[in-house]
Amino acid sequence: MISKNYYPESPEIDRKRYTKINTKYQSNVIIVMFGIILFFIIYLAALYGSFYLVYHAIFYDITHVNKLTIILKIGAVGMSVMFSLFMIKFLFKKQQNKNDFNIEIKKEEHPKLFDFINKLSRETNAPLPKKVFVNHEINASVFYNNTILSLFLPTKKNLLIGLGLVNGLNLSEFKAVLAHEFGHFSQSSMRLGSYVYMANQIIYGMVYDRDYWDQMYDSWRNSDIRLAIFAWLLMPIVWGTRQLMILIYKGINILQSSLSRQMEYHADLVAVSVTGSDAIINGLYKLDATTQAMNFAMEHVNSATHNKIYTSNLFYHQDMAFKYLKDHNPEFEANLLENIKSNRVFVKDDDYNIPSMYASHPSGYKRENNAKQNYLTGEINEGSPWILFNDPEKLCEKVTQNLIKVSLNLKEGIEFTDAKKVQEFIQSEISETQFNPIYLGSYDTRFITDFDAKNPEGIIKEVSITKEDSSTAIKNLYETVLKEIVASEKKVSEELQMVVDILGNVKKDKVFNFRGKEVKRKDAQSVYEELIKELDNENQYEIFDKKIFATHYLLANDIEKKELIERYDFQHSFQKCHKSFIKTQSEVLNKITEIQQIGTLEEKELYHFAAQFYDQAKYLKNSLENADTLQLPIMSNMQEVNSLKTFLLDEKVQRISSNKIDGDEINQLLKQLDQVIDKARRLYFKGLGNILKLQEEIRKNI
């Protein structure tokens, strides 16, 4: 029997009655079932028709045998066979059911956890999971391997527990989250998910996948005109089928989305029935802060990997990140659960800030309404869920090391560094990349204004500042000018959120007020685009940045002046490279989107896009060469960097064919761009941090 210390007591209620499925849930199940049945009727009818055409084309007698009728026969057989293969090509797609980040754990390794799971299974009247896995995520979920057989045979479900989640909740909240997942275990409507998944696989394979079928089809179209004409005749049929499938795809997923929300409400009530109304909602609310801490930790752990330093324990850094954000980020600290003063946790119905773990779920506001509609008091055990695991540190290290090996494709035998030692590296990074609150976050999401730092006298003359005025000017810049700019940006952001709510149907107003004028709902998109342009416009910072440079230059001594010019000059030069990396990535992604929208490419279009991808790879190579000409100023943890090009990308830029489109080549180029931009971002903020620190030193002379 499991101790009360390890398993918070559950409320004494009639759970079956409390978690009874409502009419709306039942209605959604029927609607989704109808949609799935309709899809499979349409699909199987089309499939039968395509096979019949193959049969008819092959066995149809040619009454007059000649060159023309033979070509027609071959063309008809080719068209019907290719269309049939098009209808079933999803079958030939390799299924990736294994997630290399997941590690299976056994009862012998963690008996308390499995006793906890067994008792929770009995209380929620849910079947036990077939297997239990852990990984690094802030997540807990039910999953199973979807195959064609799963449409006809019962499929046992697995339980996934993310250790990032364990690290952010108390024991009662952890119990509530697992109970929520057990609620899904008990839902027979989960079976519908297999059918929706399979329908999506079929449609996605037909509409979006470009595979061997498409290569065969392209070769056929480019063959002898006497045969190619049949490929061109097949094109409108394939296009029409794809358009129909897109409509069905959207329809099925709209229906499934509505059912999914009802399933989430029901799973929440299952959690409430064993923990009370607060635990599941408190746990849900904590996900935001837990995710922020994990993202902060992973950003800096990733920076360490740039220097071939691999931490032994990611979750230690998650803890350190949480403490740092709590101490240094007033907004983060104010939004922690312990500092919420209202009588409810979620005070705004906001579908746009749903944590990634619950991206397809109802908003926290709606879930809190559901969980507290018939409020149930429950025991809150503030203990850590880690007490359920044997040797948590060892498990954390195992998950961390697996994550790093898989993510970076590292070989066995790689050396991992003690997390406390890595934290010292992270602290030195933080000292450069986390900026003083007096800057109000104004440097976090923009590039600084480009100007000729090697001509300080020209900048000083342009902004009309003297050495005598510098001290007063600096005070005015930070205490007045910057506050006005940031306040203006905040107002635009709030206006943008209002318009987003209108466009997303969160607000149903037919007319809304925008800057003193009434605007019709149909014009919301143009207002949205106008606001985006305002947010992207960095001109308002131009004079501010130049004055900041000029005033600090005037106050600096000779050594500081020399360093200030060198650091600004590097920053301006490097951010040009950084911008070009981002532009190249954007261009590649835009071309991919264009290709997906077009569907089947004609030969002329294929050559056009191939040349575009080739050019982007060349631009990346040139930008890296430009970066390599820059002299890196002194920065922490960068002493061993002799070549910026090699630091940013330690391999050759992916070769891209100029006369054909190769998906593997494009994917590799995108991976390289991700790597380059990630490292460039780190270097940009380190450089900027050193400029701000130098200016802070100069201000001490005031």
Domain at 628, CATH number: 1.20.120
Domain edge (last residue) among 525, 555, 585 = 555
pLDDT at 146 over 70: no
Tell whether 73 is covered by a domain. yes
Domain edge (last residue) among 507, 534, 555 = 555
> pLDDT category, 119, cuts 50, 70, 90?
very high
Task: Please tell me the total count of domains within the chain.
Answer: 3
Run of H or E residues at 201: helix 190-207
What per-residue confidence (pLDDT) applies to 244?
A: 86
Identity of residue 441: G
Which residue in 519, 499, 395 sits closest to 135, CA to CA?
A: 395
Could you count the other beta carbons within 10 Å of the beta carbon of residue 557?
A: 9
Distances (CA, A) of 462 to 447, 539, 557, 643, 692: 21, 16, 21, 36, 22
Least reliable range by pLDDT among 55-59, 329-333, 455-459: 55-59
Residues 289 and 381 in one domain: yes
Give the highest mean pLDDT range of 510-524, 532-546, 631-645. Answer: 631-645
Tell whether 376 is covered by a domain. yes
Summarize pLDDT for 392-416 with one digit per residue, the tens: 999 999 999 999 999 999 988 899 9
Mean predicted confidence (pLDDT) in 363-390: 94
Residues 511 and 575 in one domain: no
β-bridge partners, 133: 104, 160
Residues 336-372: b if buried by 16+ CB within 10 A, e if exposed: eeeeeeeeebbeeeebeebbebbeebbbbbbbbbbbb
Task: Give the whole-angstrom CA distance, residue 450 versus residue 575.
Answer: 9
Task: Give the whole-angstrom CA distance, residue 127 versus residue 131.
Answer: 12
Tell whether 581 is covered by a domain. yes
What SS3 state is found at 474?
A: helix
Tell whether 676 is covered by a domain. yes
Mean predicted confidence (pLDDT) in 618-628: 98
Tell whether 440 is covered by a domain. no
Q: What are phi and psi of 273, to 5 degrees?
A: -65, -20
Tokens of 596: 């997906």
Mean predicted confidence (pLDDT) in 152-158: 67
Tokens 């230690």 locate to 316
What per-residue confidence (pLDDT) applies to 492?
A: 83
Tokens 């293969």 locate to 85
Query: When comparing pLDDT for 140 and 22, which is higher?
Result: 140
680-682-684-686 Cα dihedral, nearest 10 degrees: -150
Least reliable range by pLDDT among 417-421, 477-481, 489-493, 535-539: 535-539
Residues 533 and 617 in one domain: no
Q: Strand locations in 382-446, DSSP E?
A: none
What per-residue confidence (pLDDT) applies to 519?
A: 80
Distances (CA, A) of 522 to 444, 495, 498, 505: 34, 16, 14, 12
Sheet architecture: strand order including 103-105: 103-105, 132-135, 158-162, 140-143
What SS3 state is found at 160?
A: strand
Residues 50 and 140 in one domain: yes
Give the highest mean pLDDT range of 202-211, 467-476, 565-574. Answer: 565-574
Run of H or E residues at 475: helix 467-476
What per-residue confidence (pLDDT) applies to 188?
A: 62
Percent of the chain with pLDDT strictly greater than 90: 58
What per-residue confidence (pLDDT) applies to 334?
A: 94
Tell whether 46 is covered by a domain. yes
> pLDDT category, 358, cuts 50, 70, 90?
very low
37 CB-near residues (< 8 Å, 6+ apart)? none
What per-residue confidence (pLDDT) applies to 517?
A: 81
Task: Give the whole-angstrom CA distance, residue 272 versus residue 124.
Answer: 10
For the entire predicted model, the pTM comes to: 0.82
Query: When comparing pLDDT for 699 and 5, which is higher?
Result: 699
Task: Give the whole-angstrom CA distance, residue 546 versus residue 451.
Answer: 8
244 CB-side CA count, 13 A? 12
Residues 374 and 456 in one domain: no
Task: Give the whole-angstrom CA distance, residue 241 versus residue 46.
Answer: 10
> pLDDT category, 354, cuts 50, 70, 90?
low
Query: When comparing pLDDT for 488 and 388, which is higher?
Result: 388
Q: What is the mean pLDDT of the chain?
A: 89
Could you count the other beta carbons within 10 Å of the beta carbon of residue 454?
A: 12
Residues 353 and 402 in one domain: yes
Tokens of 263: 């399933």
Domain edge (last residue) among 434, 459, 478 = 434
Task: Give the whole-angstrom CA distance, residue 268 versus residue 182.
Answer: 10
Residues 548 and 564 in one domain: no
Task: Give the whole-angstrom CA distance, residue 646 versus residue 630.
Answer: 13
Residues 546 and 564 in one domain: no
Task: Give the whole-angstrom CA distance, residue 479 versus residue 226.
Answer: 77
Least reliable range by pLDDT among 197-201, 268-272, 557-561: 197-201
Determine the structural domain holding residue 540 and report its residue range.
451-555
β-bridge partners, 142: 159
Residues 288 and 243 in one domain: yes
Task: Give the whole-angstrom CA distance, residue 174 versus residue 161.
Answer: 10
Give the highest mean pLDDT range of 402-406, 517-521, 596-600. Answer: 402-406
Tokens of 418: 């003690």
Task: Give the whole-angstrom CA distance, residue 46 versus residue 178.
Answer: 43
Tokens of 481: 């000018």
What per-residue confidence (pLDDT) applies to 122?
A: 93
Task: Give the whole-angstrom CA distance, residue 216 versus residue 223.
Answer: 11
Which residue in 208, 292, 284, 241 sits closest to 598, CA to CA?
A: 208
Which residue in 130, 163, 143 sits closest to 97, CA to CA?
A: 143
Mean predicted confidence (pLDDT) in 144-166: 74
> pLDDT category, 94, cuts 50, 70, 90?
low
pLDDT at 294 over 70: yes
What per-residue confidence (pLDDT) applies to 16?
A: 83
Residues 127 and 196 in one domain: yes
Least reliable range by pLDDT among 122-126, 127-131, 463-467, 498-502: 498-502
Distances (CA, A) of 437 to 173, 447, 472, 478, 551: 33, 18, 20, 11, 20
Task: Give the whole-angstrom CA distance, residue 228 versus residue 219.
Answer: 9
> How is residue 389 annotated by DSSP?
S
Query: When comparing pLDDT for 223 and 278, which is higher?
Result: 278
What per-residue confidence (pLDDT) applies to 359?
A: 47
Alpha helices, DSSP H only, in 556-653?
558-598, 603-628, 644-648
Tell whether 442 is covered by a domain. no
Mean predicted confidence (pLDDT) in 4-25: 85
Residues 536 and 565 in one domain: no
Tokens of 202: 């079929």
Pairing between β-strand 158-162 and β-strand 132-135 as defined by DSSP bridges:
parallel
Give the highest mean pLDDT range of 23-37, 363-377, 558-572. Answer: 558-572
Task: Give the whole-angstrom CA distance, residue 464 versus residue 456.
Answer: 12
Contact assessment for residue 559 and residue 665, using Cβ atoms and an 8 Å cutoff: no
Tell whether 662 is covered by a domain. yes
552: Cα separation from own chain's centroid: 40
What per-residue confidence (pLDDT) applies to 645?
A: 97
What per-residue confidence (pLDDT) applies to 357?
A: 46
Least reliable range by pLDDT among 173-187, 247-261, 386-400, 453-467: 247-261
Distances (CA, A) of 383 to 5, 107, 171, 335, 380: 8, 22, 5, 21, 9
Task: Give the whole-angstrom CA distance, residue 371 versus residue 280.
Answer: 8
Which residue in 338, 264, 319 sits closest to 24, CA to CA?
A: 264
pLDDT at 655 over 50: yes
Tokens 């199940």 locate to 29
Mean predicted confidence (pLDDT) in 484-498: 88
- Radius of gyration for the chain, computed over Cα atoms and rounded to the nearest angstrom: 30
Residues 117 and 230 in one domain: yes
